Amino acid sequence: MYEGLNVPFLGQLDLQNLIKFTNRLIEPAFLNLNYNELLSIARDSEPVYVVLHQNENLANETFLRYAHNFKFKTRLFKSEDPEIFKRVGVKYYHGDKKGYYHGDNKGVGNKVDYHGDKKGDYNKGDYHEKGVHHGDKKGYHRGNEKGDHHGEVNHEKGDYHKDLNYDHFPHNNLNLVVFKNGHFHLYDGNVHNEGTLIEWLFHTHFPNVTKISDSTFHSIFNGIKPVFLLLTENDFLTQNLERFARDIHLGKPFYHLIFSSINLDEFMLFTASLLPKIEIPTIVIYNPKDKKFYHKKNNLNEFNFKEVAEETLKLFDQGKLKVYGSKNSWDLLFDWGINCDGGDRMLDKDEKEANNMK
């Protein structure tokens, strides 16, 4: 436990892993970064989250607790680098010598012209779009009859505030983006709505493909999303799965299934106990809602992988993919993995049972 963060250690218990875990636990959260630093830390398909701000105190107030509490699940940073603003398509406001903020006409987004000073006074608060709001000298918004609200990414249409306080000025907007697979995806909800924000973080934090390991076993099989699972040995066809999942995720921040692979050399009795007589390699789908595996027999190889994968997805989405295995299989899965806080216990059980069979 560290500053209220209670995280179980699920990796292999050795000095190197323990040091790595401890360093991650105590490292500072919600650090600043610029665009070049973002590119340097982005690796593979693991997502990087960035809060775009021009008011660091407001960003810390809203997001620091998320960065701290979820540091083992997400990498959450903050930035006021205009280059990231430009690439995401969010307007960056430049402060002049008098403290006024002026919208960058070169930026992408709503073409609105704000001239509010740091105290919140509007010298000119006109929105130059249909459904305008006019700011008076006190900084209040006076909406038209339609009540449309333009200029703030994270406010829903029709939601405007008569008593506008400092955090509603344009240069104090907060925008959350995820950089994933080389693309930015902008969170289009309200950053102050904790429920939808956490749900979006959960859905988007999975990479293209998650390999089943001691540390991921629990989160994958005890989650809320179905698991598209490649059963393989020696990581055969994992590159095919990576390419397929990458194409599925293209242009999307997340998908309704998790793509995953399990190396049966590491989990030796997984198929023998949960999916008896199934041919390897193959694809199955695990649905955590009903705790069942779904499968159609296939002769999976590197040449027909995409065809088999597409058919499996289609049949599952149509409710036509058949259940595979027995009821005892899901009980064993929970006994081994979920109720024992991770796949490491399952691996230990595999080794013990394998030794007893000799």
Last residue of a domain, one of 166, 185, 201: 201
Mean pLDDT, range 242-256, rounded to an integer = 83
252 & 346 share domain: yes
pLDDT at 147: 37
Mean pLDDT within 233-248: 91
Read off the CATH number of the domain in which 214 is found. Answer: 3.40.30.10
Do 83 and 57 sit in the same domain of this protein?
A: yes
In-domain check, residue 28? yes
Same domain for 216 and 187: no
Q: Which domain holds residue 243?
A: 207-357
Tens of pLDDT, residue by residue over 34-62, are 999 999 888 655 789 999 999 999 999 99
What ranges make up the beta strands (E) of the chain?
48-52, 76-79, 93-95, 101-103, 133-135, 141-143, 175-180, 183-186, 210-211, 227-232, 258-263, 282-287, 292-294, 323-324
For residues 191 and 305, state if they share a domain: no
In a domain, 100, yes or no: no
Same domain, 215 and 311: yes
- Lowest model confidence (mean pLDDT) among 14-18, 89-93, 103-107, 325-329: 103-107
pLDDT attached to residue 213 = 85
pLDDT value, residue 37: 93
DSSP E strand boundaries for 42-112: 48-52, 76-79, 93-95, 101-103
Both structure tokens of 25? 């636990």
> Same structural domain for residues 342 and 246?
yes
Top mean-pLDDT range of 24-33, 100-109, 162-171, 230-239? 230-239
pLDDT of residue 308: 97
User: Within this chain, do residues 296 and 190 fall inside the same structural domain, yes or no?
Assistant: no
- Asked if the structure places residue 41 within a domain, the reply is yes
Among 1-15, 75-89, 197-211, 276-290, whose mean pLDDT is lowest? 1-15
Question: Do 212 and 281 fall into the same domain?
Answer: yes
pLDDT in tens, 165-191: 444 565 678 999 999 877 888 998 899
- The answer to whether the CB of 5 falls within 8 A of the CB of 337 is no
Instruction: Say if 169 falls within a structural domain.
Output: no
**Phi-psi category of residue 295: left, alpha or beta, with phi > 0 → left and psi -120 to 50 → alpha:** beta
**pLDDT tens profile 3-16:** 556 666 666 777 87
DSSP bridge partners of 292: 287
50 falls within a domain: yes
Judge whether 114 lies within some domain: no
Q: How many domains does the chain have?
A: 2
Least confident of 90-104, 202-216, 271-285: 90-104
Name which of 312, 315, 182 is nearest 246 in CA terms. Answer: 182
Residue indicated by tokens 């259940």: 323
- Lowest pLDDT segment from 47-61, 98-112, 294-308: 98-112
Comparing 102 with 123, the larger pLDDT belongs to 102
Classify the C-alpha dihedral 70-74-75-77 as positive or negative.
Answer: negative
Q: Which amino acid is at 24?
A: R
Q: Judge if 234 and 288 occupy the same domain.
A: yes
Domain membership flag for residue 139 = no
Predicted confidence (pLDDT) per residue in 314-357, tens digit: 999 999 999 997 655 556 565 555 444 444 444 444 444 434 43
226, 325: one domain: yes
According to the model, what pLDDT value does residue 233 have?
A: 94
Do 313 and 189 lie in a common domain?
no
The last residue of a domain, from among 201, 219, 252: 201
3 state DSSP class of 326: coil
Query: CA of 160: how far to CAs of 67, 119, 124, 146, 157, in Å?
Result: 28, 19, 18, 11, 8
Q: What is the pLDDT of residue 177?
A: 93
- Would residue 152 count as lying in a domain? no
Place 73 in a pLDDT band, splitting at 50, 70 and 90: confident
Tokens of 82: 């205009």
- Asked if 209 contacts 122 with a C-beta cutoff of 8 angstroms, the reply is no
Decide: residue 356, CB within 10 A, 0-12 exposed, 13-18 middle, 19+ buried. Answer: exposed
Whether residue 234 is found in the same domain as residue 191: no
Write down the pTM of the prediction. Answer: 0.56
- Is pLDDT at 81 greater than 90 in this prediction? yes
